[in-house]
Structure 1
Amino acid sequence: MRKKIVAGNWKMNKTFEEGLKLASEVVNMVKDEVKSDAGIVLCPPFIELHAVSKLVEGSKVALGAQNCHSKASGAFTGEVSVEMLKSVGAGYVILGHSERREYFNESNQFLAEKVNISLQNGLTPIFCCGETLSQREKGIHLDFVKSQLTESLFHLSESDFLKVVIAYEPIWAIGTGVTATTAQAQEMHAIIRDHIKSKYGAKVADATTILYGGSCKPDNAKELFACPDVDGGLIGGASLKARDFVDIVKSF
């Protein structure tokens, strides 16, 4: 049985106090309202990780970071290592988000290094893949997404690959208010799973958690999560409101 996960990516939002208030609200709502065994992950900005880790301790909510560096330590001013993330209680780390790829020129090879060091230190990568509207219109989106997986993940052993969570994010549906149709989401998730099967076999493919990461909201989450190959969501804007985020979790 694949693990169901809803992860909230706060991106560069919320001051320290605002972040603590949001995390506290989520933890309390989850405690009172969520009956499923779905995994719940909050990914606040770096400055809030340690404090949020204290708030989620002992709850159903896990802690994730939004990024990490590919090296263990060193002269990388402004960067954060996986060891630092582990030391403040993070169990997950988002890697390869489309914004990191676009604005910070993160390549598939660079992300492979980040995947490696995350796994070596016991962090679960939430590895993002996805295409632009232009790539979809040109009909190259399937090969593009497959290449992201191949170049960043397919060097892993079977046992390590099974520790990775994949998040498919149609870039054209992030922050635009546009959501992929249920059919579009299911199609891409099925293709991703089939691509994993071609490398690792059906057993590994069937065990891999694949999240949907494009404008998932309380009013469409239930339909999206009902798709056979959609195992939850990587939530952006809706994760900044405790009520919306918890309602998405309850869609299971």
Structure 2
Amino acid sequence: MIVLGEDELQQAEKALAPLSPAAVKVYGCLFSINRGKALNLEVVADSWPDFSVLVCKPKVQVRFKHLTHTPHIPNRHTDNAARYTEVPYIYSVDINHLDAVTDLAAQHGVPARTQCVMHLLPLFSVPEDRIRPLQAEHAALVNSTWKYGGDHNSYNSVLGYISNHPSLCVMDEGGGGPLSWVLVYHHLALGLLYTLPQHRRKGYAKTLVSRMAGRLLELGYPVYCFVEEGNSASYGLFTSLGFTSSGCCD
């Protein structure tokens, strides 16, 4: 294993960006080390610069009875198996690799026990240049995904919302079309919030609603929305941003 120096640590941080679930903890350690916030840690790699495994561990190992306390962090290539000489305590491991780690521990006579299972909840920021108003040419896409859309009349309604009121969308970073959007109805309620299925769970909708609400408040608009009964996802999103329920209406 190779102990990374200052330059290598900077390169490793860049190599792991953008952040991915498989490398979230090692990226966090690298980020801290490179800013002088974790001076008691060092990072070793299986090879350099084309590494497959990174291990973050204390510079001075602390021994408890006959076990070495050395935290390991998952490698950036989930299809590569990590080889460890001593693994008495692992802070975290992708649940998809838990069986492999348990088998490895058994091979070395090390007892294995899972203390708890946790959900990884990253917060992804959306670059400013990808958040833009919808344009008239996007009306067909919005209409095709709208629950109450799909015909010429609804298309004209969507086109009217885009042309006469504020709207926001997250654009595809590859120069394509909108991935997520929110509009304002003629009665000024927020609506038609939608994210393409393959781009969900990235925080796009929450980012757009937050931005749009702030913009409307600055313009002196009333800020409100309607959420269909039973739509717990949308209800949870809006209430998490401070919207409060005022009862039901038809």
TM-score interval, normalised by the smaller of the two chains: under 0.3
Question: What's the TM-score once normalised by structure 2's chain length?
Answer: 0.25
Question: What's the TM-score once normalised by structure 1's chain length?
Answer: 0.25
Larger relative helix fraction: 1
